[in-house]
Structure 1
Amino acid sequence: MEKERLFELIRKEEILLFAGAGFSMYAGYPSGKDLSKTMHANLTPSQQNEIQLTSDLLQVTEDIYNIKNSNKNYLIEVLKKEFQKEPSSIKTHQLLAKIPQIKTVITNFAEAVKNDLPDKQIFKEMGAGNVNVNELFEQLISAFNI
């Protein structure tokens, strides 16, 4: 019964999919936990001792930012290295793109993910601390006539 209701909503174009960082994992990009590990592993041994490695990406990036004297270049370089590489697979993204009735908002950094979805869909990059929820919803309402 629930599946039929979902299909009905899709046919009526009443579905808005928010695809976060986890969606990029299908393309071979890291999870937040793995990204935390990568950021920590690329620090010098003395910097690694200063920062507790956790799966909390926001905390790890904040700690790195602080020990780097408020310089975010290190973080930017790690993100570029991880998210500008070619995806290992785009199958899931291509399948999603075949359903024209589903509108999608991408909330991560993977350029390849955005490139594989149709132009008619809206993409909003959001980094930690940069999200204005009211602005986002105003854009969605305007773009999708919600």
Structure 2
Amino acid sequence: MVILESRVASNWVDYNGHMNDAEYARVFSLAVEALMEHVGLDEPGRARHGYTLYTLETHLCYRREAHEGQPLSVELTLLDRDTKRLHIFFKLHDEEGSLLATSEQMLMGIDSDTGRPAPFPLSVEQAIDALPLAAPSAWPSQASRIIAIRR
């Protein structure tokens, strides 16, 4: 499921002539915002429900360079979920479908008034239920990676 389409902005390009590593994180952050809008947690939804999502953990892997003006798309795969957490996997592609980067994230639903974890509001949960859930056997090969120097 494509959750976000964008382009590499000129101010995202660094001294190496390609998108700066921090900007990949920005694109994935924008994808989380797009996901929030998709499930009813846009600005009015957050106010109505008194609810938001926090990112607990992220694992970003860089695959290829992206350049100024290049079209980008972010694909979302829901790996797992419970009553207040989402385990998601994003793939960043260029216009030719080449994989540029991935971001695996754990998101937590938060009651905005208390700042504490809380179950998804019913309408949000229903929207999440409509997202395609990947069977563990169909997870992207890049998911659940461990950072290590292999010996």
Normalised by the shorter chain, which TM-score bucket? under 0.3
Relative to the length of structure 2, the TM-score reads 0.27
Relative to the length of structure 1, the TM-score reads 0.27
Judging by fraction of residues, say which structure has more strand.
2
Which structure has the bigger radius of gyration?
1
Judging by fraction of residues, say which structure has more helix.
1
